[in-house]
Amino acid sequence: MSVERPASLSNHAEMPCGVVAEPGVFRLETRKLPETAPEGWVLVDIAAVGICGTDYHIFEGKHPFLDYPRVIGHELSGRVARDAGGWTQGELVVINPYVSCGSCRACKKGKPNCCSKIEVLGVHRDGGMCSRIAVPAQNLYPATGLSELQAAMVEFLAIGAHAVRRANLTPDDLVLVTGAGPIGIGTALFARLTGAEVHIQDMSEARLAQARDKFGFENTHVAGSDILTGSLADGFDAVFDATGSARAIEAGFPLLAHGSRYVLVSVVKEIITFDDPEFHKRETQIIGSRNATREDFEAVMAAIRDNRIDTSALCSRTVPLETFSSLFAELVDNRDTLIKAVVTL
Protein backbone atom coordinates (compact mmCIF):
# COMPACT_ATOMS: atom_id res chain seq x y z
CA MET A 1 0.00 0.00 0.00
CA SER A 2 1.17 3.56 -0.66
CA VAL A 3 0.05 7.12 -0.22
CA GLU A 4 0.89 10.04 -2.45
CA ARG A 5 1.26 13.68 -1.44
CA PRO A 6 -0.77 16.41 -3.17
CA ALA A 7 0.37 18.80 -5.82
CA SER A 8 0.13 22.44 -4.71
CA LEU A 9 -3.07 24.31 -5.52
CA SER A 10 -2.72 26.59 -8.50
CA ASN A 11 -5.51 29.14 -7.89
CA HIS A 12 -8.52 29.97 -5.79
CA ALA A 13 -10.92 28.21 -8.19
CA GLU A 14 -9.47 24.81 -7.31
CA MET A 15 -9.77 22.60 -4.26
CA PRO A 16 -8.05 19.56 -2.74
CA CYS A 17 -9.93 16.25 -2.85
CA GLY A 18 -9.09 13.07 -0.95
CA VAL A 19 -9.10 10.33 -3.59
CA VAL A 20 -8.53 6.59 -3.39
CA ALA A 21 -7.07 6.23 -6.88
CA GLU A 22 -6.90 2.44 -6.70
CA PRO A 23 -6.72 -0.13 -3.91
CA GLY A 24 -3.90 0.84 -1.58
CA VAL A 25 -3.30 4.28 -3.12
CA PHE A 26 -4.70 7.43 -1.51
CA ARG A 27 -3.74 10.93 -2.61
CA LEU A 28 -4.92 14.52 -2.61
CA GLU A 29 -5.89 15.70 -6.08
CA THR A 30 -6.65 19.22 -7.25
CA ARG A 31 -10.10 19.62 -8.81
CA LYS A 32 -12.27 22.54 -9.81
CA LEU A 33 -14.19 24.18 -6.98
CA PRO A 34 -17.95 23.90 -7.73
CA GLU A 35 -19.54 27.30 -8.25
CA THR A 36 -23.03 26.19 -9.31
CA ALA A 37 -25.40 23.40 -8.28
CA PRO A 38 -28.30 21.70 -10.10
CA GLU A 39 -31.81 22.91 -9.33
CA GLY A 40 -32.87 21.66 -5.92
CA TRP A 41 -29.27 21.11 -4.81
CA VAL A 42 -27.17 23.23 -2.44
CA LEU A 43 -23.44 23.96 -2.36
CA VAL A 44 -21.87 23.10 1.01
CA ASP A 45 -18.34 23.96 2.17
CA ILE A 46 -17.17 20.86 4.04
CA ALA A 47 -15.97 21.33 7.62
CA ALA A 48 -15.24 17.79 8.83
CA VAL A 49 -15.30 14.21 7.52
CA GLY A 50 -15.58 11.11 9.68
CA ILE A 51 -13.58 8.06 8.61
CA CYS A 52 -15.35 4.71 8.85
CA GLY A 53 -15.03 1.06 7.94
CA THR A 54 -16.38 1.74 4.45
CA ASP A 55 -13.44 4.07 3.77
CA TYR A 56 -10.99 1.48 5.07
CA HIS A 57 -12.56 -1.18 2.83
CA ILE A 58 -12.34 1.15 -0.18
CA PHE A 59 -8.64 1.73 0.53
CA GLU A 60 -8.07 -2.02 0.85
CA GLY A 61 -10.01 -2.85 -2.32
CA LYS A 62 -12.68 -4.81 -0.44
CA HIS A 63 -15.80 -2.77 -1.26
CA PRO A 64 -18.13 -4.59 -3.70
CA PHE A 65 -19.99 -1.58 -5.13
CA LEU A 66 -17.24 0.86 -6.01
CA ASP A 67 -15.41 2.11 -9.10
CA TYR A 68 -12.00 3.74 -8.79
CA PRO A 69 -10.86 6.48 -8.56
CA ARG A 70 -13.27 7.71 -5.89
CA VAL A 71 -13.39 10.82 -3.69
CA ILE A 72 -14.23 9.26 -0.33
CA GLY A 73 -16.14 10.72 2.60
CA HIS A 74 -19.78 10.24 3.60
CA GLU A 75 -19.81 11.23 7.30
CA LEU A 76 -20.00 14.96 6.67
CA SER A 77 -20.58 18.32 8.26
CA GLY A 78 -20.31 21.64 6.50
CA ARG A 79 -21.53 25.19 6.06
CA VAL A 80 -23.87 26.34 3.32
CA ALA A 81 -21.74 28.10 0.70
CA ARG A 82 -24.46 30.49 -0.49
CA ASP A 83 -28.19 31.06 0.02
CA ALA A 84 -30.20 28.38 -1.80
CA GLY A 85 -33.16 26.07 -1.32
CA GLY A 86 -34.24 27.76 1.91
CA TRP A 87 -30.74 27.48 3.40
CA THR A 88 -28.67 30.45 4.54
CA GLN A 89 -25.01 31.01 3.74
CA GLY A 90 -22.80 29.97 6.66
CA GLU A 91 -25.42 27.73 8.29
CA LEU A 92 -23.90 24.59 9.82
CA VAL A 93 -25.49 21.42 8.45
CA VAL A 94 -25.31 17.66 8.74
CA ILE A 95 -25.29 15.95 5.35
CA ASN A 96 -27.35 12.83 4.78
CA PRO A 97 -25.16 11.02 2.20
CA TYR A 98 -27.89 8.71 0.84
CA VAL A 99 -29.08 10.24 -2.45
CA SER A 100 -32.40 8.60 -3.28
CA CYS A 101 -34.49 8.60 -6.47
CA GLY A 102 -37.77 9.66 -4.84
CA SER A 103 -39.86 7.52 -7.20
CA CYS A 104 -39.27 3.83 -6.37
CA ARG A 105 -41.60 1.86 -4.06
CA ALA A 106 -39.29 2.28 -1.06
CA CYS A 107 -39.06 6.05 -1.52
CA LYS A 108 -42.82 6.39 -1.93
CA LYS A 109 -43.27 4.47 1.33
CA GLY A 110 -41.00 6.90 3.19
CA LYS A 111 -37.95 4.63 3.20
CA PRO A 112 -35.37 6.50 1.09
CA ASN A 113 -32.65 4.81 3.16
CA CYS A 114 -33.23 1.65 1.12
CA CYS A 115 -34.07 3.27 -2.22
CA SER A 116 -33.72 0.76 -5.05
CA LYS A 117 -31.53 3.24 -6.95
CA ILE A 118 -29.65 4.71 -4.00
CA GLU A 119 -26.35 6.47 -4.53
CA VAL A 120 -24.22 6.96 -1.42
CA LEU A 121 -21.77 9.84 -1.41
CA GLY A 122 -18.23 8.52 -1.26
CA VAL A 123 -19.29 5.10 -2.57
CA HIS A 124 -21.50 5.13 -5.67
CA ARG A 125 -20.57 8.76 -6.45
CA ASP A 126 -17.81 11.09 -5.31
CA GLY A 127 -18.00 12.03 -1.66
CA GLY A 128 -17.21 14.94 0.59
CA MET A 129 -13.50 14.77 1.39
CA CYS A 130 -13.07 18.04 -0.48
CA SER A 131 -13.58 21.75 0.08
CA ARG A 132 -17.06 21.93 -1.44
CA ILE A 133 -19.80 19.58 -2.60
CA ALA A 134 -23.29 19.86 -4.08
CA VAL A 135 -26.03 18.05 -2.13
CA PRO A 136 -29.81 17.75 -2.60
CA ALA A 137 -31.51 20.32 -0.37
CA GLN A 138 -33.60 17.62 1.35
CA ASN A 139 -30.40 15.83 2.38
CA LEU A 140 -29.33 18.70 4.64
CA TYR A 141 -30.32 18.95 8.30
CA PRO A 142 -29.64 21.97 10.54
CA ALA A 143 -26.91 21.16 13.06
CA THR A 144 -28.32 23.51 15.69
CA GLY A 145 -26.35 23.36 18.94
CA LEU A 146 -23.65 21.07 17.53
CA SER A 147 -20.00 21.73 16.76
CA GLU A 148 -18.54 20.96 13.35
CA LEU A 149 -16.88 17.82 14.76
CA GLN A 150 -20.08 16.64 16.43
CA ALA A 151 -22.05 17.19 13.24
CA ALA A 152 -19.61 14.96 11.33
CA MET A 153 -20.33 12.10 13.74
CA VAL A 154 -24.11 12.15 13.37
CA GLU A 155 -24.32 9.86 10.32
CA PHE A 156 -22.52 6.86 11.79
CA LEU A 157 -24.49 7.16 15.02
CA ALA A 158 -27.70 7.32 12.99
CA ILE A 159 -26.91 3.84 11.63
CA GLY A 160 -27.10 2.44 15.16
CA ALA A 161 -30.10 4.57 16.11
CA HIS A 162 -31.97 3.25 13.06
CA ALA A 163 -31.15 -0.37 13.93
CA VAL A 164 -32.36 0.12 17.50
CA ARG A 165 -35.58 1.74 16.30
CA ARG A 166 -36.15 -1.20 13.96
CA ALA A 167 -35.89 -3.59 16.93
CA ASN A 168 -38.59 -1.89 19.05
CA LEU A 169 -36.65 -2.43 22.27
CA THR A 170 -38.23 -2.16 25.72
CA PRO A 171 -36.59 -1.65 29.14
CA ASP A 172 -37.27 -5.34 29.89
CA ASP A 173 -35.12 -6.58 27.00
CA LEU A 174 -31.76 -8.32 27.26
CA VAL A 175 -29.67 -7.06 24.34
CA LEU A 176 -26.44 -8.31 22.79
CA VAL A 177 -24.42 -6.21 20.34
CA THR A 178 -21.81 -8.26 18.51
CA GLY A 179 -18.96 -6.13 17.20
CA ALA A 180 -17.49 -3.26 19.24
CA GLY A 181 -16.36 -1.07 16.36
CA PRO A 182 -17.88 2.38 15.74
CA ILE A 183 -21.21 1.05 14.42
CA GLY A 184 -21.48 -1.49 17.23
CA ILE A 185 -20.69 1.10 19.90
CA GLY A 186 -23.23 3.49 18.39
CA THR A 187 -25.85 0.73 18.36
CA ALA A 188 -25.08 -0.16 21.97
CA LEU A 189 -25.32 3.47 23.08
CA PHE A 190 -28.80 3.91 21.61
CA ALA A 191 -29.92 0.50 22.86
CA ARG A 192 -28.89 1.57 26.36
CA LEU A 193 -30.94 4.78 26.03
CA THR A 194 -34.08 2.61 25.75
CA GLY A 195 -33.42 1.27 29.26
CA ALA A 196 -32.57 -2.24 28.05
CA GLU A 197 -29.72 -4.23 29.61
CA VAL A 198 -26.95 -4.15 27.00
CA HIS A 199 -24.13 -6.64 26.55
CA ILE A 200 -21.29 -6.32 24.02
CA GLN A 201 -19.33 -9.13 22.38
CA ASP A 202 -16.16 -8.86 20.31
CA MET A 203 -13.06 -10.86 19.43
CA SER A 204 -10.80 -7.95 20.40
CA GLU A 205 -9.95 -7.46 24.07
CA ALA A 206 -8.81 -3.92 23.19
CA ARG A 207 -12.21 -3.01 21.76
CA LEU A 208 -14.00 -4.51 24.75
CA ALA A 209 -11.75 -2.52 27.08
CA GLN A 210 -12.72 0.66 25.22
CA ALA A 211 -16.39 -0.23 25.57
CA ARG A 212 -15.94 -0.58 29.32
CA ASP A 213 -13.55 2.27 30.04
CA LYS A 214 -14.85 4.97 27.67
CA PHE A 215 -18.55 4.16 27.55
CA GLY A 216 -19.30 2.34 30.79
CA PHE A 217 -20.51 -0.96 29.31
CA GLU A 218 -19.82 -3.41 32.14
CA ASN A 219 -21.28 -6.49 30.41
CA THR A 220 -18.63 -7.41 27.85
CA HIS A 221 -17.83 -10.87 26.44
CA VAL A 222 -15.06 -12.31 24.32
CA ALA A 223 -16.53 -13.84 21.16
CA GLY A 224 -16.54 -17.63 21.30
CA SER A 225 -16.89 -17.83 25.08
CA ASP A 226 -19.95 -19.46 26.68
CA ILE A 227 -22.13 -16.54 27.70
CA LEU A 228 -25.48 -18.36 28.04
CA THR A 229 -25.14 -18.93 31.75
CA GLY A 230 -26.93 -17.61 34.83
CA SER A 231 -29.42 -14.85 34.01
CA LEU A 232 -28.47 -15.15 30.32
CA ALA A 233 -29.22 -18.86 30.06
CA ASP A 234 -32.41 -18.30 28.06
CA GLY A 235 -30.64 -16.09 25.51
CA PHE A 236 -31.11 -12.49 24.39
CA ASP A 237 -34.34 -10.78 23.39
CA ALA A 238 -32.48 -8.84 20.69
CA VAL A 239 -29.13 -9.46 19.06
CA PHE A 240 -27.51 -6.84 16.81
CA ASP A 241 -24.72 -7.92 14.50
CA ALA A 242 -22.20 -5.20 13.63
CA THR A 243 -19.25 -7.42 12.74
CA GLY A 244 -19.30 -7.65 8.96
CA SER A 245 -18.53 -11.35 9.37
CA ALA A 246 -20.75 -14.13 7.99
CA ARG A 247 -19.31 -16.55 10.53
CA ALA A 248 -20.16 -14.19 13.39
CA ILE A 249 -23.71 -13.70 12.09
CA GLU A 250 -24.27 -17.47 11.98
CA ALA A 251 -22.84 -17.82 15.48
CA GLY A 252 -25.44 -15.36 16.75
CA PHE A 253 -28.48 -17.53 16.05
CA PRO A 254 -27.98 -19.86 19.06
CA LEU A 255 -27.79 -16.80 21.33
CA LEU A 256 -31.36 -15.75 20.59
CA ALA A 257 -34.10 -16.23 23.17
CA HIS A 258 -37.56 -17.48 22.24
CA GLY A 259 -39.63 -14.62 20.80
CA SER A 260 -36.50 -12.66 19.89
CA ARG A 261 -35.27 -10.34 17.13
CA TYR A 262 -32.02 -10.61 15.19
CA VAL A 263 -31.03 -7.29 13.64
CA LEU A 264 -28.38 -7.46 10.93
CA VAL A 265 -26.70 -4.07 10.86
CA SER A 266 -23.57 -5.12 9.00
CA VAL A 267 -23.55 -6.36 5.41
CA VAL A 268 -21.64 -9.39 4.14
CA LYS A 269 -21.16 -10.81 0.65
CA GLU A 270 -21.53 -14.45 1.72
CA ILE A 271 -24.66 -16.59 2.01
CA ILE A 272 -25.93 -16.91 5.59
CA THR A 273 -27.26 -20.28 6.79
CA PHE A 274 -29.07 -21.24 9.99
CA ASP A 275 -30.89 -24.16 11.59
CA ASP A 276 -34.53 -23.77 10.55
CA PRO A 277 -36.14 -25.84 13.38
CA GLU A 278 -34.26 -23.80 15.99
CA PHE A 279 -35.24 -20.59 14.20
CA HIS A 280 -38.91 -21.56 13.98
CA LYS A 281 -39.35 -22.81 17.51
CA ARG A 282 -38.05 -19.45 18.74
CA GLU A 283 -40.36 -17.54 16.37
CA THR A 284 -37.37 -15.34 15.68
CA GLN A 285 -37.60 -12.20 13.56
CA ILE A 286 -34.67 -11.46 11.25
CA ILE A 287 -34.52 -7.73 10.58
CA GLY A 288 -32.29 -6.07 8.03
CA SER A 289 -31.22 -2.54 8.92
CA ARG A 290 -29.82 -0.29 6.20
CA ASN A 291 -28.53 3.26 6.52
CA ALA A 292 -30.83 5.71 8.36
CA THR A 293 -33.68 8.17 7.84
CA ARG A 294 -34.23 11.80 8.77
CA GLU A 295 -35.96 10.63 11.95
CA ASP A 296 -32.78 8.83 13.02
CA PHE A 297 -30.51 11.77 12.21
CA GLU A 298 -32.74 14.06 14.26
CA ALA A 299 -32.81 11.60 17.17
CA VAL A 300 -29.01 11.49 17.20
CA MET A 301 -28.67 15.28 17.11
CA ALA A 302 -31.14 15.61 19.97
CA ALA A 303 -29.21 13.03 22.03
CA ILE A 304 -25.95 14.91 21.46
CA ARG A 305 -27.50 18.26 22.37
CA ASP A 306 -28.98 16.76 25.54
CA ASN A 307 -25.59 15.25 26.53
CA ARG A 308 -26.98 11.73 26.39
CA ILE A 309 -24.21 10.83 23.92
CA ASP A 310 -20.61 11.79 24.77
CA THR A 311 -19.03 12.66 21.44
CA SER A 312 -15.68 13.44 23.09
CA ALA A 313 -15.37 9.75 23.97
CA LEU A 314 -16.25 8.77 20.40
CA CYS A 315 -13.73 11.03 18.64
CA SER A 316 -10.40 9.25 18.94
CA ARG A 317 -8.38 11.54 16.68
CA THR A 318 -8.65 14.58 14.43
CA VAL A 319 -6.43 14.98 11.37
CA PRO A 320 -6.14 18.00 9.04
CA LEU A 321 -6.81 17.12 5.41
CA GLU A 322 -3.37 18.32 4.33
CA THR A 323 -1.66 15.70 6.53
CA PHE A 324 -4.18 12.88 6.08
CA SER A 325 -2.33 11.36 3.12
CA SER A 326 0.60 10.36 5.30
CA LEU A 327 -1.64 8.92 8.02
CA PHE A 328 -4.39 7.01 6.19
CA ALA A 329 -2.47 3.73 5.94
CA GLU A 330 -1.58 3.99 9.64
CA LEU A 331 -5.24 4.47 10.58
CA VAL A 332 -6.18 1.43 8.48
CA ASP A 333 -3.59 -0.70 10.26
CA ASN A 334 -4.59 0.52 13.74
CA ARG A 335 -8.37 0.65 13.41
CA ASP A 336 -8.86 -1.65 16.42
CA THR A 337 -7.56 1.11 18.70
CA LEU A 338 -9.84 3.78 17.21
CA ILE A 339 -13.51 4.53 17.57
CA LYS A 340 -13.71 7.51 15.21
CA ALA A 341 -11.06 9.51 13.34
CA VAL A 342 -12.24 12.80 11.87
CA VAL A 343 -10.56 14.75 9.06
CA THR A 344 -10.88 18.53 9.34
CA LEU A 345 -10.87 21.02 6.46
Per-residue model confidence (pLDDT) at position 66:
84
Evaluate whether residue 122 is within a structural domain. yes
- The answer on 112 and 46 residing in a single domain is yes
Distance CA 90, CA 103 (A): 31
152 CB-near residues (< 8 Å, 6+ apart) = 47, 48, 49, 50, 75, 76, 77, 342
Per-residue model confidence (pLDDT) at position 271:
94
215 CB-near residues (< 8 Å, 6+ apart) = 185, 188, 189, 310, 313
Report the chain's mean pLDDT, rounded to a whole number.
94
Give the sign of the dihedral formed by CA 86, CA 89, CA 92, CA 95: positive
Question: By residue range, what is the domain housing residue 227?
Answer: 159-288
Per-residue model confidence (pLDDT) at position 261:
98
- The answer on 133 and 37 residing in a single domain is yes
pTM for the whole structure: 0.93
pLDDT in tens, 169-221: 999 999 999 999 999 999 999 999 999 999 999 999 999 999 999 999 999 99
CATH number assigned to the domain comprising residue 270: 3.40.50.720
Distance CA 107, CA 119 (A): 13
- The answer on 164 and 119 residing in a single domain is no
In this prediction, residues 229-242 reach a mean pLDDT of 97
- The answer on 262 and 170 residing in a single domain is yes
| Contact between residue 317 and residue 338 where contact means Cβ atoms under 8 Å apart | yes
Per-residue model confidence (pLDDT) at position 2:
40
Evaluate whether residue 321 is within a structural domain. yes
12 has a pLDDT exceeding 70: no
From the number of C-beta atoms within 10 Å of its C-beta (0-12, 13-18, 19+), residue 295 rates as middle
Please, which pLDDT band fits residue 11 given cuts at 50, 70 and 90?
very low
Please, which pLDDT band fits residue 305 given cuts at 50, 70 and 90?
very high
- The DSSP annotation for 148-180 comes to HHHHHTHHHHHHHHHHHHHHT--TT-EEEEE--
pLDDT in tens, 208-218: 999 999 999 99
Evaluate whether residue 139 is within a structural domain. yes
- The answer on 105 and 220 residing in a single domain is no
Evaluate whether residue 31 is within a structural domain. yes
pLDDT in tens, 47-79: 999 999 889 889 988 787 788 999 999 999 999
* DSSP-derived pairing of the beta strands 132-136 and 41-51: antiparallel
- The answer on 239 and 132 residing in a single domain is no
Distance CA 280, CA 260 (A): 11
Sheet of 25-32: strand order equals 2-4, 25-32, 14-22, 70-71
- The answer on 141 and 67 residing in a single domain is yes
From the number of C-beta atoms within 10 Å of its C-beta (0-12, 13-18, 19+), residue 54 rates as buried
* 68 DSSP assignment: S
17 has a pLDDT exceeding 50: yes
* 8 DSSP assignment: P
Evaluate whether residue 303 is within a structural domain. no
- The answer on 163 and 134 residing in a single domain is no
SS3 132: strand
Q: For residue 92, which amino acid is it?
A: L
- The answer on 196 and 92 residing in a single domain is no
Q: How many domains does the chain have?
A: 2
- The answer on 33 and 92 residing in a single domain is yes
Q: For residue 13, which amino acid is it?
A: A
Evaluate whether residue 293 is within a structural domain. no
pLDDT in tens, 78-87: 999 999 999 9
In this prediction, residues 246-252 reach a mean pLDDT of 96
- The answer on 316 and 261 residing in a single domain is no
In this prediction, residues 337-341 reach a mean pLDDT of 89
| Contact between residue 121 and residue 227 where contact means Cβ atoms under 8 Å apart | no
Per-residue model confidence (pLDDT) at position 160:
98
Helix 205-215 vs helix 182-193: angle between axes, to the nearest 10 degrees?
40
How many CA atoms lie less than 13 Å away from 192 in the CB half-sphere? 19
CATH number assigned to the domain comprising residue 45: 3.90.180.10
| Contact between residue 121 and residue 97 where contact means Cβ atoms under 8 Å apart | yes
- The answer on 123 and 11 residing in a single domain is yes
Per-residue model confidence (pLDDT) at position 6:
42
| Contact between residue 24 and residue 61 where contact means Cβ atoms under 8 Å apart | yes
In the chain, DSSP finds a helix count (H) and a strand count (E) of: 12, 19
